[in-house]
Amino acid sequence: MDFRKNVIALFIMLVLLVVGAALVQMVAPETADARSELALQETPSLLQHWLPIIFLDSGDSIATSTPPPALTETSTPAATVAPTATTDPCVPAPANLLANPGFDDGMVPWHFNTGGNGSFVTTQPAYQCSASARVDIVTSSGIVQLYQSAVALKPNTQYRLQFAAYSTTEEDVRVDLLKHAAPYSNYGLSELFDLSADWQEFSYEFVTSGFDTDVEDGRFRFWMGGASSGSIFWFDAVSLEEIPAGPTATATQTGTPTNTPTITPTSPPTATATQTTTPTITPTASPTSPATPTPTAEPPTATPIGPPTATATPPVGGGPELLVFDWNQPVELWHHGFPWDNPPMPSANGNWTSPINYAAGTLYFRAEIFSQPVAQNNMMQFCIWQYNNVLENCSGLALVTGTPGNVVTWSQGVQDLWKKDDNLIDWVNPRDRYGAVIKNSAGLPVSDFLGWNWNGEDPYEWYPLNMRFTVIVVAPGRSFSGWDNYISD
C-alpha cells in the first residue's frame, strides 16, 4: 500500500508540474523560464514512457492512449499548368515542305514565268495573315506558272496538298509536282482545280511516283497556261505535307475541283536559250534506230541512226532546183510535233530521177523562228515517207534555238539521208508526205504519238511554235540560187 501511495503521489506531482508550467506559459509566454519550456516539451514523453511501467510493475492495469505518430512537415510544390498549344496560321508549320507558303515574306522563293505576258506580286487582300499572291494575265500565254523548286520528297509516300485560291474569271488552275530539271518527270501530282470568283479552300491527297529514292529536286507549281487576257488569280495558305504512314488514301478534292486533268505536261527550266544565228550549220545526229511503226495514220519514226555527210558549200554551177517543202505557220499541239504536208505539193512529188536526177542532188534547209512559248533547244530534221511509212528517209538533226528571229540554214545530199532499214525512197513514184520533226536536245520527238507522252517535255512550253521551215532540192553538180529567191521580208 505504501508503494501504491508513493506512486500516486508522484503522479499527482507530475500532473501539477505540467499544469503549472502551462499556466506560466499562458500568463507570461515571453518571459517564461527556458526550463519551464523544457518541462512542457519533455513531460508528456516522460509520462508516456514511465507510467505504464510503474503501474504494470504493481500488477494493475491502466488504460493508456497511444500518441499519434509524429507529423513530418513536407512541402508540396505548386501545381504547374501546361500552356495550351495553339496553332498560329501565320507561322508556317514545320511539316510544310513549301517555304513562304502564305506569301507574307514577299515573293522569295517563289518564281514566276509568263514570257513577259503577266505579273506576280504579293499584296492584300489576304485569305489569311498579311498577304497573298496575285497573278495578272496581261496577254494570254501558254506558259504562265507560279512555282518554287528544291522541294524534298520521299518515294511512294502519301502527301496532302492544301491551298486557298480564286480567279476573277473563274478559270481553272492546274497544280503539278514534277522534277525541276530534265527529264521533268511527273512526281505524282497533276490535277486541275475549278476556281470560282470567291476564295475557296482546296485539299487533295496523292502518292508520289516517278522516283525510287528520296529527292530534293521537286518543282511545285500553279499552272495557268492558256488563261484569258485580263484574268487575275489569287493564291494563299499553300501547304504540302507528308501524311503519316497508314492505309493508302484515295485521291480526293474539296472545294469543287475538276477531277479530269487534261494533258499532263512537265516543265523545263524557265531560262531562255541562247540565240544561234550562224548562217550555216553542220548538223549532228547520234540517235538510235527506232521500232518500225505500223502502216497506219500513226507518225513515222523520223530518227536517223547516224550523222549525215553535210555539204557546207554547194557545188559550182547554176540551177535547176525545186521547192520541196515550205511550212509557214504555227506548229500547234494537234500537229503532235510532226508538221507535214500530206500529200506533198504536186510540183515536188514527181519522178526525181528523170528528166532531172534530183535523187542524186542536194537538199537545202532553212528554219526561221518567229515565236515559241519558251525558247527551246529545238533539234529539227526533215523527213520523207512513202508506202504508209514502210519507207522513210530523214536528214540529220540541226540545232534551231527558239529565240524569235533566229535563222539557221544547212544542207545535205539526198543520197546521204538516213534510211530506215537501209531502204532508199522510191524516187520514181509519188511520196506520201514530207515534213519536219521537232525534237528535244536528247534527239527525242516532242510528241504524244506512239505513247511518247512528249518525251518528258511540257508541250505548252514548246507549242505553238511559230516558224517557217523551207526545203529546196538542187540538181547534182549545180549550185543553189539562194534563199532570197524564196524568202521575202
C-alpha span between 20 and 51 (Å, rounded): 20
Q: Please state whether 482 falls in left (phi above 0), alpha (psi between -120 and 50) or beta.
A: left
CB 484 within 8 A of CB 407: no
| 33 compared with 19, residue with greater pLDDT | 19
- Check whether 310 has a pLDDT greater than 70: no
| 308 compared with 193, residue with greater pLDDT | 193
**What's the pLDDT at 72?**
45
Phi, psi of 10 (to 5 degrees): -65, -40
**Mean pLDDT across the chain, nearest whole number?**
76
Supply the angle between the helices 34-57 and 2-27 in degrees, to the nearest 10.
160
CB 310 within 8 A of CB 283: yes
CB 482 within 8 A of CB 314: no
Place of cell 539526198: 414
Listed range (19-33, 262-276, 384-398) with the worst mean pLDDT? 262-276
Residue pLDDT, tens place only, 121-173 = 999 889 999 999 999 998 877 678 899 999 999 999 999 999 999 999 999 99
Strand 200-207 vs strand 253-254: parallel, antiparallel, or unpaired? antiparallel
Model confidence at 9, in pLDDT bands (50, 70, 90)? Answer: confident
R_g of the chain, CA atoms, integer Å: 46
| 471 compared with 244, residue with greater pLDDT | 471
Listed range (54-68, 175-189, 448-462) with the worst mean pLDDT? 54-68
Phi, psi of 467 (to 5 degrees): -150, 170
Place of cell 502519301: 158
| 73 compared with 271, residue with greater pLDDT | 73
Mean pLDDT, residues 403-418 taken together: 93
- Check whether 62 has a pLDDT greater than 90: no
**What's the pLDDT at 22?**
57
| 454 compared with 264, residue with greater pLDDT | 454
C-alpha span between 226 and 143 (Å, rounded): 7
Q: What is the largest distance, in Å, between two alpha-carbon atoms of the chain?
A: 168
Q: What percent of the chain has pLDDT over 70?
A: 68
Neighbours of 277 (CB within 10 A): 10
- Check whether 86 has a pLDDT greater than 50: no
Model confidence at 289, in pLDDT bands (50, 70, 90)? Answer: very low
Listed range (308-312, 382-386, 429-433, 451-455) with the worst mean pLDDT? 308-312
**What's the pLDDT at 489?**
64
- Written as nine digits, the cell of 389 is 511509212
pTM score: 0.42
Residue pLDDT, tens place only, 333-352 = 889 999 999 889 999 999 99
Mean pLDDT, residues 193-218 taken together: 95
- Check whether 407 has a pLDDT greater than 70: yes
Listed range (30-34, 94-98, 125-129, 401-405) with the worst mean pLDDT? 30-34
| 235 compared with 113, residue with greater pLDDT | 235
Residue pLDDT, tens place only, 11-26 = 777 767 766 655 555 5
C-alpha span between 83 and 78 (Å, rounded): 15
- Check whether 190 has a pLDDT greater than 50: yes
Model confidence at 46, in pLDDT bands (50, 70, 90)? Answer: very low
- Check whether 175 has a pLDDT greater than 50: yes
